[in-house]
């Protein structure tokens, strides 16, 4: 799958943007604040209904403008035009001028894998954000998972409120047990596949460091044991998939405390490669890869490892500041299929 054309109005500082992309690698070069991340943000907003920036709300609409519009021609098994009109309150999506009713239907139209320093940092964040990071990948390949997580969180909130008020929780216990077990089943399956592909990827790109993902959970062996554990704690719901943890290691040490900046960035890319491969396998369609600020923090050897992995295999849209001239020239020398855009 790839984006052939994109155009948008009023996204952050950009009043108007129109571009034709190469189905292979595209590099957008520009100074700080020139609007590079905003271009990737527009693509992400159009295809997922959300921005990847941490503190995103109506601020994505250009100051003093009432609405933004984003439109792209996407080529996959079919050619389609996806369009979004966003007024700050209402988001309206269209496919070939017909309204797309739900986010679930929108997500079927395009797949992207995006890495940006402006999204949530999986290494530095805490348990909940890590769960969300991986759950979002599961959503991309399994629509039911999102509904189960939403329902689970709602019931968890009810249940904890009832416990605080010292009221009986019985009406909710069977429901939370059912959903909890379903979520664990899905996450167990997912982490098995994810870890396998993640390890294969490390071997493929001959990575020097050994990274490891560990999915840690306290899953009861049966619904009865789950129920018993829930009933023992009368103050809060302390058992369930909301207590799952995901630990990330470099050479058997916790990466948050031991990794250098480049080593952390490399791990993030390995996670993105794994995500791209899982989507490719499950959806039988290659996702579009967005790499924001790609050249920063990595040495040339690592840049080439990641670059070569994606190049020619996926459509890649990279952004970079123009301070990396030498690396850029080297990359361009080795390959003529790369399209470079200069954003002043
Ligand atoms: N709603 C808005 N209206 C107008 N301008 C905005 C709005 N939101 C952000 N900006 C401006 O847009 C620019 C942000 O652009 P963006 O983050 O895309 O830059 P960038 O090219 O990625 O920069 P860097 O190289 O520093 O990452 C900033 O100058 C910011 O002040
Ligand atoms: Mg940026």
- Pocket flag, ligand 1, residue 342 (CB < 6 Å): no
Mean pLDDT to the nearest integer, 137-163: 95
CA 82 – ligand 2 centroid, Å: 24
- Pocket flag, ligand 1, residue 36 (CB < 6 Å): yes
pLDDT digits (tens, 9 = 90+) for 153-194: 999 999 999 999 999 998 899 999 999 999 999 999 999 999
Question: What's the pLDDT at 339?
Answer: 84
Specify the residue with its C-alpha closest to ligand 1, atom 11. 13
pLDDT exceeds cutoff 80 at 196:
yes
CA 125 – ligand 1 centroid, Å: 24
CA 168 – ligand 2 centroid, Å: 50
Sign of CA dihedral 261, 262, 267, 270: positive
CA 292 – ligand 2 centroid, Å: 7
Atom of ligand 1 nearest to the CA of 61: 1
Structure tokens at 248: 């990330």
Which of 31, 34, 319 to mutate to test ligand 1, by most ligand atoms within 8 A of the CB atom?
A: 34
Mean pLDDT over each residue of the chain, to the nearest integer? 93
pLDDT exceeds cutoff 60 at 344:
no
Q: How many angstroms separate the CA atoms of 166 and 168, rounded?
A: 7
Specify the residue with its C-alpha closest to ligand 1, atom 9. 12
Strands (E), 58-197: 68-75, 79-86, 91-95, 98-100, 112-115
pLDDT digits (tens, 9 = 90+) for 281-332: 999 999 999 999 998 888 889 998 999 999 989 999 999 987 666 777 777 7
Split at pLDDT 50, 70, 90, the class of 336 is low
Contacts made by residues 34-39, CB under 8 angstroms, sequence distance 24+: 34/343, 34/344, 35/343, 36/292, 36/293, 36/319, 36/320, 36/321, 36/343, 37/116, 37/118, 37/292, 37/293, 37/319, 38/11, 38/12, 38/13, 38/14, 39/6, 39/11, 39/14, 39/317, 39/319, 39/343
Nearest Cα residue to 60 out of 33, 30, 39 = 39
Phi, then psi, of 229 in degrees rounded to 5: -65, -40
pLDDT digits (tens, 9 = 90+) for 55-96: 766 789 999 999 999 999 999 999 999 999 999 999 999 999
- Pocket flag, ligand 1, residue 256 (CB < 6 Å): no
């Amino acid at each position: 799958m790839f984006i052939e054309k994109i155009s948008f109005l009023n996204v952050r500082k950009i009043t108007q943007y129109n571009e034709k992309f190469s189905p292979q690698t595209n590099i957008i070069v520009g100074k700080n604040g020139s609007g590079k991340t905003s271009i990737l943000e527009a693509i992400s907003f159009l295809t997922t209904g959300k921005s990847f920036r941490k503190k995103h709300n109506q601020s994505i609409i250009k100051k003093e403008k009432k609405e933004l519009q984003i439109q792209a021609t996407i080529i996959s098994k079919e050619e389609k035009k996806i369009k979004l009109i966003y007024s700050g309150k209402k988001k309206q999506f269209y496919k070939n001028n017909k309204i797309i009713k739900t986010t679930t239907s929108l997500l079927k139209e395009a797949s992207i894998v995006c890495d940006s320093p402006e999204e949530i940092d999986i290494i530095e964040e805490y348990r909940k954000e890590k769960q969300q990071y991986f759950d979002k990948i599961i959503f991309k390949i399994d629509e039911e998972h999102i509904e189960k997580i939403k329902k689970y969180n709602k019931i968890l909130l009810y249940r904890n409120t009832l416990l605080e008020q010292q009221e009986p929780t019985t009406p909710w216990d069977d429901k939370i047990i059912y959903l909890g077990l379903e979520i664990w089943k899905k996450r167990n399956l997912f982490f098995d596949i994810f870890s396998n592909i993640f390890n294969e990827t490390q071997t493929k790109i001959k990575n020097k460091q050994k990274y490891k993902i560990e999915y840690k959970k306290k899953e009861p062996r049966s619904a009865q044991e789950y129920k018993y554990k829930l009933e023992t704690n009368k103050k809060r719901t302390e058992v369930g998939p909301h207590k799952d943890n995901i630990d990330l290691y470099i050479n058997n040490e916790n990466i948050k405390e031991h990794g250098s900046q480049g080593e952390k960035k490399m791990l993030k890319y390995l996670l993105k490669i794994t995500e791209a491969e899982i989507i490719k396998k499950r959806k039988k369609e290659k996702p579009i890869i967005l790499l924001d600020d790609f050249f920063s923090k990595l040495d040339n050897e690592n840049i080439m490892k990641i670059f070569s992995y994606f190049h020619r295999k996926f459509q890649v849209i990279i952004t970079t500041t123009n301070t990396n001239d030498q690396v850029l020239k080297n990359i361009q020398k080795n390959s003529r299929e790369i399209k470079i855009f200069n954003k002043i």
